[in-house]
Amino acid sequence: MVSRLIFPLDTGDLAEARRWVRRLSGLVGVFKVGLELFTAAGPAAVEMIREEGQAEVFLDLKLNDIPATVAGAVRAASRLGVDFLTVHMLAGRWAVREAARAAEGGLRILAVTILTSLSRADLMEVGYSPELSRDLSEAALRLASLAYRCGVHGVVCSAKELPRIREAFPHLLTVVPGVRPEWLEEELADDQKRIASPGEAIRAGADYLVVGRPIREARDPRAVAERILAEMAQAFEERYRGCNVPE
């Protein structure tokens, strides 16, 4: 189950990021390097995770540019030995397709559908049609369908939109951010709007969960991570009852 938990290293300090990797060793299977850390430390952030253990590296840059530029960035990530890399579906069909084609060495391309920080009003403000803004699951499904046709390995989406995507594209990897355990005692300062508990996300069809603030802001981060893993394991057992439960 450890391999299914992703922890974002949301810091601009490489030394602090290293402390988090060490602190959560054995409990997190994938460490996510986002824009803040990669802008501050560059490839050294990827190298640090490799040095510290066996966890996989998720480079979350949400590439959104012309096809040639996106393809070049994917090739560079492949040379770094990254395991996952995100490209934004709003880059369009050709850029996402080129991203999938450029991936080498086991790099898995994940297409970002609709950010979990966005609401219906936010989408309408940036030009989404009223029809799609009213039905976010339909909007996310359309983007996932295009991502599938472009040949990506998986998608990043909210748990709220996940069931329709999982039903339509069962072979796509699904990565779900915006995960908030219901049993948290502390109220988190948060910019996520479409959230779900770990169990809800797994039962909806998630393969991987991105959990940051609930662990990072906890008094005992390892204890919270262990409890999240237990909830994930139970949900996977319910989802795959009678079948093999993924590790």
Answer whether 86's CB lies under 8 Å from 115's CB.
no
Nearest to 215 by CA among 58, 29, 24: 24
- Determine whether 62 is an active site residue: yes
Answer whether 203's CB lies under 8 Å from 5's CB.
no
Q: Reduced to 3 states, what is the DSSP secondary structure of residue 9?
A: coil
CA distance 141 to 84: 21
CA distance 80 to 74: 10
The residue from 13, 62, 83, 193 that is catalytic is 62
The residue from 65, 122, 193, 207 that is catalytic is 65
- Determine whether 160 is an active site residue: no
The residue from 13, 60, 160, 190 that is catalytic is 60
Binding site per annotation, positions for substrate = 10, 32, 60-69, 116, 180, 192, 212-213
- Tell me the three-class secondary structure of 119-154, residue by residue: CHHHHHHCCCCHHHHHCHHHHHHHHHHHHHHHCCCE
Nearest to 61 by CA among 81, 34, 39: 34
Binding site per annotation, positions = 10, 32, 60-69, 116, 180, 192, 212-213
Token pair of 122, please? 């936010």
Token pair of 58, please? 């998720």
| Residues carrying an active site annotation | 60, 62, 65
